A = this chain, B = another copy of it.
Amino acid sequence: MEFKRLLEERSKEAWDIYLPGLSIDCVVFGFHDGALKILLIKIKGQDLWGLPGGYIKKNEGLNDAASRILKDRTGAKNIYLQQFRAFGELNRSEGFFSDYDDTLWHKQRFISMGFYALVDYSQVQLMIDDISNACEWVSIDELPEFMMDHKNIFEHALVTLRKQLNCKPIGYNLLPENFTMPELQKLYEIILDKKLNRGNFFRKMTGYDILEKLDESRKGGAHKAPNLYKFDLDKYQTALKDGFKEGW
């Protein structure tokens, strides 16, 4: 009941502040412990999980709105953020808050602009706002049931990532500054959804001449400490211009 009043309050403000009919949904990817994860939230009083999102202020550009929404959730500025598709089917959002009055902002028809974001997992501080009661990283292998069409939005984002792996600096934006070759290979395997041969991967990756091998190696663990690498961003950007032609 308390929450119902809060949402109605938010609804009144929203009609004043935001452009009607258009929302933003963000698929925020992070890579941690050998798993590709996305950020999910849960709205109070709802069982289903959803993508973090929001609306566009009347005096704000679309891409600026997406940056603001992500900054409010993650504390991070200068996130790598890309539009990938608009979701504009009828009845994708209209029915969701069915217990509420038809004038409720959140119950209207929204065409949603999908953005995907790539973040360095270690740099993110998750924040819960007052209409949600959870904001968590979830591995894409263990996704819960989604609200509205958010599963569809996520799937389109993942396919986009796969298609752009050879032409956008995806590894650079998902990995910490220093990483091992097995970590990089794991990230590629998850995005491509297939196992890669270790020797071939090493040969191709070093062949593209976009990595710099560091003098230090990763400490700890029983095995021989694996070598650390970082991206040479200039060379990475140059190589991406032509695309990585060899496939994986």
Contact = CB atoms under 8 A, between A and B. Distances in A.
A12 interface: no
Nearest to A163: B167
A99 B58 CA distance: 22
A19 interface: yes
Contact of A111 (B22, B87, B163): B22
A62 B242 CA distance: 33
A62 B88 contact: yes
A209 interface: no
Contacts of A113: 86, 88
Interface residues of A, number: 29
A61 B83 contact: no
Interface SS majority for chain A: mixed
Contacts of A88: 56, 61-63, 65, 113
A47 interface: no
A65 B21 CA distance: 15
Given A21-B19, A22-B22, A85-B83, A90 B59 contact: yes
Interface string A208-248: 00000000000000000000000000000000001101110
B247 A246 contact: no
A83 B61 CA distance: 19
Interface of A: 19-22, 56, 58-63, 65, 83, 85-90, 109, 111, 113, 163, 167, 242-243, 245-247
